[in-house]
Amino acid sequence: MIVILKENPNPRQLDSLMTWLKSKGLEIHKSVGATHTLLGLIGDTSSVDMNLIKALDIVEDVTRISEPYKNANRKFHPRDTVIEVGNTKIGGGSLTLIAGPCSVESEEQICEVAQRVKESGATLLRGGAFKPRTSPYAFQGLKAEGIRLLKKARELTGLPIVTEIMDADLLPMFDDVDIIQVGARNMQNFELLRRLGKIDKPILLKRGLSATYEELLMSAEYIMAGGNERVILCERGIRTFETYTRNTLDIAAIPVLKTLSHLPVIVDPSHATGRSKLVEPLSYAAAAAGADGLIIEVHNDPEHALCDGPQSLTPEAFDRIAKNLQTMFGRNAVAEAQG
């Protein structure tokens, strides 16, 4: 970290700053330039709040040289992290398809969708048991029963299951879930992240609606700092001024996150815009930009599609997309797994 001081800094304030920095265990390399003095901080600066120093009266600017995340940082882990779940894997070159309904509604529904998406090439089943809903009056999911039904579908198809947790207290119910999802609105629920750092299960971490790349990686770091290194990053659209789509898919997040981190990066093209017609082009775009996987909403009953999100596809549409992805990009988790 380099601190650029203002011209003629108040000596007492400078002294106070240097004492404080030393108390953090940092060595200071002072460099006096033509007009400005710089302080180079040597040591572990990950616990130093850059914004705090930046706002001091005597400081012109502060620049981090090393990122504040270590476990998630590609610099220290140059090789891609590949996460294996059952027969499938996420990361390292394959394009894993995760599919399933927005909410688990019945045994019939989840089992049928599971079979259909498996036939099309999905290797993981998603489905919401606990649903984060903006309104307290809206349907909040089947909860424990939803998880029970997901397991039924797993039994039937062999597909490992992914489902969202909303509070650390619910962890015991997720004992037998294969991948635990943290939703966008909980990306900075630090208590939840800390608790997930203590378990031995992959975590699918969604980017918050207005979270920066660094903040997403810091949230991954929370989990990893606890010892759980199996984190999957998920870009699912950010909030912008555009109102035609519910969110704006940040496609550059894929190559950027893969440069900064060794963790796998998947994309949710369903929530990214909230419009089912856009799932297809965005899926191809995400694969083309190097995503390690896609998590796509698929419902099985077009006649009653209302129960499902407007961003859901029919199994037929999902099948077409999965086949096209296979043709265009020649990489697919099924193929990999079978290989």
Q: Enumerate residues 72-131 that contact its own copies by CB under 8 A.
A: none
Least Å from the CB of residue 160 to its own copies: 25
Least Å from the CB of residue 187 to its own copies: 8
Between the alpha carbon of residue 195 and those of residues 160, 182, 231, 314, the distances in Å are 22, 12, 14, 36
Would you give the distance in Å from CA 291 to the centre of its chain?
A: 12
260-299 residues near its own copies, rule: CB under 8 A = 272-278, 281-282, 284-290
Q: Which is nearer to its own copies, 4 or 82 (CB)?
A: 4
User: Nearest CA to 38 among 46, 29, 26?
Assistant: 29
Q: Which of 239, 316, 323, 335 binds its own copies (CB under 8 A)?
A: 239
Distance CA 148, CA 298 (A): 19
Distance CA 314, CA 300 (A): 6
Stretch that binds its own copies, among 84-92, 108-116, 172-180, 309-317 (CB under 8 A): 309-317
Q: Which is nearer to its own copies, 121 or 208 (CB)?
A: 208
Least Å from the CB of residue 85 to its own copies: 25
Stretch that binds its own copies, among 91-99, 143-151, 153-161, 252-260 (CB under 8 A): 252-260
Specify the pairing of strand 37-42 against strand 2-5.
antiparallel
150-169 residues near its own copies, rule: CB under 8 A = 166-169
Q: Which of 55, 76, 106, 198 binds its own copies (CB under 8 A)?
A: 55
SS3 labels along 153-204: HHHHHCCCEEEEECCHHHHHHHCCCCEEEECHHHCCCHHHHHHHCCCCCCEE
Angle, nearest 10°, between helix axes 279-288 and 315-329?
20
Tokens of 176: 């037998």
Least Å from the CB of residue 144 to its own copies: 15
Residue 285's φ and ψ, nearest 5 degrees, are: -60, -45
Q: Is 320 in the site for its own copies (CB under 8 A)?
A: no
Least Å from the CB of residue 77 to its own copies: 17
Q: Which of 240, 316, 323, 335 binds its own copies (CB under 8 A)?
A: 240
Q: Is 192 in the site for its own copies (CB under 8 A)?
A: yes
Q: Which is nearer to its own copies, 84 or 329 (CB)?
A: 329
Q: Is 172 in the site for its own copies (CB under 8 A)?
A: no
For the chain, the C-alpha Rg in angstroms (whole number) is 23
Stretch that binds its own copies, among 76-84, 116-124, 133-141, 149-157 (CB under 8 A): 133-141
CA dihedral 301, 303, 305, 307 (to 10 degrees): -90
Q: Taking CB under 8 A as the rule, which mask of x and - marks residues 196-225 in contact with its own copies?
A: -------------xx-xxxx--x--xx--x
